[in-house]
Amino acid sequence: MQPSDFLTILSLALAVWAIIPSKERRFVLLFFSVFELVLFASALLVIHYLMVFDWLTENWFPGLSVFVFSKGIPSKSWAYILALVAIVYPIVKVNFSFFAKSRLPDLISLYETYLKEGELDLLSNFIAKYHIDDIERFKRGESEVPEKSGKDIVLRRRTAADVAYEKLVSPKRLLFASWVYGNILRNEAFVRGAANKYPELFAKAFKGMHTKEAADQDFAKLFTGELFIHKNKSFIEELKNVNNSNSSLVDIQEQYDIPILAGLLSHTKAAEANYVWYSVGNEAVKSLKHDSNQREFLLQEYDSDLEPEMWGKKIYIAIVYFNYMVRETIYRDNGYHMWLFYYDRFVALLVEFLPQENTYEPRLEYPSFAHKMIYEQFSNMTDWLALARDQENDHRVIDTIRCLGKCIYLLCQASDDKILPRFRRSMLDMVLNAYFKFSDYPDNPASITATKWFEKMFTFPKGTDFGLREVTDEYLAALQDAWNHFDKVPFQYHGTGEAIERFRDKVLSPLGLEA
């Protein structure tokens, strides 16, 4: 190898290095430990030494001839070999290896610099390429780490949880994942800046959260809030894909790519601990109070041609999101209500801002889009009860009936100008149908629970299980009207009519209504 050859190679290497943006040069160097960098610099000196070895032997240090063998490899050939290694090794290291373990603090420092300088696209790409799969594995492993008691935390005792965590992060890649997750991915500035643009990146971290031990409530609230506030396109597209499906999200994943919903909702124990309803519910309430554009749309007379526009309204997005969040807990063994009671809050606000004076067509199924939103919630709640029956469990049955009772009470107390009698009657008819359909499944766990709680709800709708015995004249009149118009024939025909008689005995008679 001639000096000119080496200088050519060195010039090319320096030219390539100069092309790399300065922010990324620091990143590339993190693949190498300080020892490797020193070794690389030393290799360059050795290459120079080998290239001038013959000249040094002939002119300055003849004693170096002891390193020369008659059949050995010439020094210039050694220089070529070493130069080739010096070029190939960094390329292979950067493309096929991982960061040096000793450079972990430097990596986090660099990522924090990117964050402060607003290089969110670059940072997101690095996390997606080098860390996010490991972060998912880390959170999945953290799901299996036993929870440490508060007493042990206060006393700083070393427990089995500490040992399990140390074992979890012993592989280099998972150690890096834990640091990047804790310091960068869940950083508020990064979430607010990148979540709306790269939602799937964050969703992958939630996908690894299988239990409450791996949950991260603050992170989940922040992430879901950003998606909802900005009406994220990917988030809404996933809701569109699952809407009107009766399957669980786990099954829907086989047909549609829904990484955000699957990550947030599929593992219901983690979803519960993550408060995945919190930001969506609160922001939906705010929108009903303060979003004038949404209010203007909701007060329009209903037109089916305008239904696609509902996806641009936060209240509808929240209604669909809550529907599939609650449905997933019915499919899974989860005992928490997931704050489905946001539905009665939504109904209360929708009823509140409906105008007393309006020109709604009373014969329409939904006089306005606000009425359509109320209908969607009643439909979802009765569907939850049917799903529990089909799954042969009573998950969410009591909570749903309690919520239905509050919603019915709100509709009954509203004036006939706000909630037209025909619409009120149709909502009560939907609930009566749900009650009587359980009579076909007398031994079903959902039927046993639902029948008991429906009767409580019809008797005391405002506070089904809190002793609020208030029954208003408006409610009694509405229930009597709904019962008079209710189609009882199917339930008398299919059976002995015992369900009809039971309803008369348990509900109508105690309330003093005509059977």
Residue 136 sits at the vertex; the CA angle it makes with 130 and 141, to the nearest 5 degrees, is: 125
Which residue, of 97, 121, 136, is where some domain finishes? 97
Does 122 share its domain with 149?
yes
User: Cβ–Cβ contacts within 10 Å for residue 444, how many?
Assistant: 19
Going by the DSSP 8-state scheme, the letter that residue 210 receives in this structure is: -
Measure the CA–CA gap between 236 and 317, rounded to whole angstroms.
7
Six token digits for residue 284: 């939906």
Does residue 357 belong to any structural domain of this protein? yes
Does 453 share its domain with 479?
yes
Report the pLDDT averaged over residues 310-331. Answer: 96
Report the pLDDT averaged over residues 37-65. Answer: 66
Portion of the chain with pLDDT greater than 90, in percent: 61
Report the pLDDT averaged over residues 378-395. Answer: 94
Six token digits for residue 349: 């606000």
Which residue, of 161, 191, 226, is where some domain finishes? 226
More confident residue, 59 or 32: 32
Does 447 share its domain with 339?
yes
Torsion on CA atoms 70, 75, 76, 80, rounded to nearest 10: 120
Query: How much is the pLDDT for 309?
Result: 97
Report the pLDDT averaged over residues 50-64. Answer: 58
Six token digits for residue 419: 């909630």
Does 455 share its domain with 333?
yes
Measure the CA–CA gap between 133 and 177, rounded to whole angstroms.
9
More confident residue, 54 or 331: 331
Report the pLDDT averaged over residues 264-282. Answer: 95
- The number of distinct structural domains making up the chain is 3
Report the pLDDT averaged over residues 202-222. Answer: 96
Which residue, of 198, 226, 254, is where some domain finishes? 226
Which residue in 248, 359, 246, 239 sits closest to 310, CA to CA? 239
Does 92 share its domain with 132?
no
Report the pLDDT averaged over residues 234-255. Answer: 93
Does 440 share its domain with 505?
yes
Does 57 share its domain with 177?
no
Measure the CA–CA gap between 267 and 458, rounded to whole angstroms.
34
**Is 70 exceeded by the pLDDT of residue 428?**
yes
Does residue 264 belong to any structural domain of this protein? no
Does residue 121 belong to any structural domain of this protein? yes
Does residue 413 belong to any structural domain of this protein? yes
Does residue 272 belong to any structural domain of this protein? no
Does 380 share its domain with 494?
yes
Does 50 share its domain with 135?
no
Does residue 258 belong to any structural domain of this protein? no
Does 197 share its domain with 153?
yes
Does 37 share its domain with 83?
yes
Six token digits for residue 8: 């050519």
Q: Is 303 helix (H, G, I), strand (E, B) or coil?
A: coil
**Is 90 exceeded by the pLDDT of residue 40?**
no
The CA–CA distances, whole Å, from 118 to 83, 130, 177, 187, 223 equal: 39, 20, 22, 13, 19
Phi, psi of 368 (to 5 degrees): -140, 175
SS3 letters for 112-124? Answer: HHHHHCCCHHHHH
Query: How much is the pLDDT for 460?
Result: 87
Six token digits for residue 12: 């090319």
Which residue in 156, 148, 330 sits closest to 247, CA to CA? 330
Does residue 306 belong to any structural domain of this protein? no
Domain interval for residue 109: 100-226
Does residue 291 belong to any structural domain of this protein? no
Query: How much is the pLDDT for 72?
Result: 59
**Is 70 exceeded by the pLDDT of residue 19?**
no
Q: pLDDT-derived band of residue 113, with 50, 70 and 90 as boundaries?
A: very high
Does 143 share its domain with 113?
yes
